[in-house]
Amino acid sequence: MRALVLAGGTGSRMRPLSHTRPKQLVPVAGRPVLEHVVLGVRDLGITDIGVITGDGADHVRDALGDGSGWGVRLTYIHQSRPRGLADCVRAARDFLGEDAFVLCLGDNLLPSGFTELAEEFRLRRSDAHVAVQRVADPSAFGVVVMGEDGKVGGLVEKPAVPVSDWAIIGVYFFSPAIHEAVRAIGPSGRGELEITDAIQWLLEHGYGVSAGEYTGYWADVGRPDDVLRANRHLLGTLTRSALEGDVDPDSRLDGVVSLGEGARVVRSTVVGPVVIGRGTVVTDSVLGPGTSIGAYCSLNGADVADSVLMDGTRIDGPAPLRRSVVGRESVVRSARTAAPSGHRLVVGDHTRIEPDS
C-alpha cells in the first residue's frame, strides 16, 4: 500500500498565518500538522508517501525533507492550482500505479491513529473505505449515508440540507478502481473535481464502498482557533517530561514539560503541559499550560499561556499573551503600562508589534 498526503490549497481560513507558508505547516504541540499526518501514515507500515504541493512547495520540502529521518520515502507531486481532491489523485497517477493507497488531508489530525480503519479496508475488500465521525453541523463537510453494516448508500459534499450526520474526516482508503472514477467525473458546482463525486461514481457502477467510524480525537485544523484547540488537546496527552535543555536553580517547572536540545530556562516558572523547542531561551518569564514554543525563540519578562509561538519568535515585556498564535520570526514588545488583561494576538510571519516610543 502507498499513501498520498495533500499539502496544497490556498489556506484562506488560516490567514494571516497562511499568507507566507502553507497552512499544513502551522505547528501543533511542537510539530507541523503535516508532520503529524506523515507519522500517522508511517505507523500503518507505509513507507512510500506522495505529497501533493501547491504554491508553498519549497516550504513543504524544507520542512519534511526526503522523509528518511522517519524511515519513509517522500515523493513530491506539484499541483499547479487547487482543483479538488480528485484532481490530486489524477496528478499522482504515475506515483500510485496499481497499488491500493490511503489518501490523507494534510491539515486533519487523527492522533489516535487509523490502523483499525486500514484493517477494515483490508478485510472488507472495498474499493473505497472512508473514515467518518458524527458532527453537529454536516453542512460543512462531505457526508455519507451509511447502513448499520458500514456499507455506504450515498455521498453528498457539503449538503445545504443534511442527509446524514456522518462526516468524512480526511482519511480515505482506495483500490486502483478510483483512477477510473476520477477520470470519469467532471467539475462540481464549485468548479472542483470532488473526491465525493468519484466515490459516488464507484457506488453507482457497482464497486464496493464502505465507511468506518473513527472514535478518537479528530481536528480539522483550518483556522487559528482550531490550532489552539488541537494544541491544548495534544499537549494534554503528554505523560512525562523530557528535558534535553538546561534549567537554572532559580527556575521552577511544574507538570509535564518538554524542553528541546540547547534550550534554556532562566529565573522562570513553567507550568505544563508546555513544549519548548530547541535553542529557545526563556528568561524572567512565566509560561502557563497549553503553550507550545518553537525553536530558537527568545522570551524575556514574558507571560504566555494557551498559545502557540512559532520558530524564531521574540517576546519582550510583561503584558500577558493568551490564546495567541504568533508567526515565525515575529517580535512582540509590550509597554509596562499595558492592560493587565493582556492581549490575544493572531499574527503571521515577520510581524512586529511594539509600543510607541
pLDDT at 350 over 80: no
In 221-272 the beta strands, taken as DSSP E runs, fall at: 242-243, 246-247, 252-254, 257-259, 264-266, 269-271
Distance CA 21, CA 98 (A): 33
- Domain 2-234 identical in fold to domain 241-353: no
For the stretch 217-236, pLDDT in tens is 999 888 888 999 999 999 99
CA distance 74 to 286: 40
Q: What is the predicted pLDDT for the residue at 9? A: 66
Residue ranges per domain, the chain? 2-234, 241-353
User: What DSSP state is assigned to residue 343?
Assistant: B
Task: Classify domain 2-234 at the CATH superfamily level.
Answer: Spore Coat Polysaccharide Biosynthesis Protein SpsA; Chain A (3.90.550.10)
Instruction: Burial-class residue 87 by CB neighbours within 10 Å (0-12, 13-18, 19+).
Output: buried
pLDDT in tens, 83-140: 889 999 999 999 999 999 999 999 999 998 999 999 999 999 999 999 999 998 888 8
What average pLDDT score do residues 73-78 get?
95
Q: Which of 21-25, 289-293, 308-312, 343-347 has the lowest mean pLDDT?
A: 343-347
pLDDT digits (tens, 9 = 90+) for 178-222: 999 999 998 887 778 889 899 999 999 999 999 999 999 999 888
Consecutive H or E run containing 219: strand 219-220
CATH class of 241-353: mainly beta
Residue 43 near residue 35 (C-beta atoms within 8 A) = no
**Cis geometry, peptide bond prior to residue 138 (ω within 30 degrees of 0):** no
Burial label, 278 (beta-carbon count in 10 A; 0-12, 13-18, 19+): middle
In degrees to the nearest 10, what's the CA dihedral of 56, 60, 66, 72? -120
pLDDT, tens digit, 9 for 90 and up, residues 14-68: 677 666 677 888 899 999 999 999 999 999 999 999 999 988 888 899 989 999 9
- Exposure string of 56-83, with b = 16+ CB inside 10 Å and e = fewer, is bbebbeebbeebeebebebeebebeebb
Examine the pLDDT at 354 and tell me if it is beyond 90.
no
Q: Which three cell numbers stand for residue 215?
A: 472514535
What is this structure's pTM? 0.90
> What mean pLDDT, rounded, does the chain reach?
90
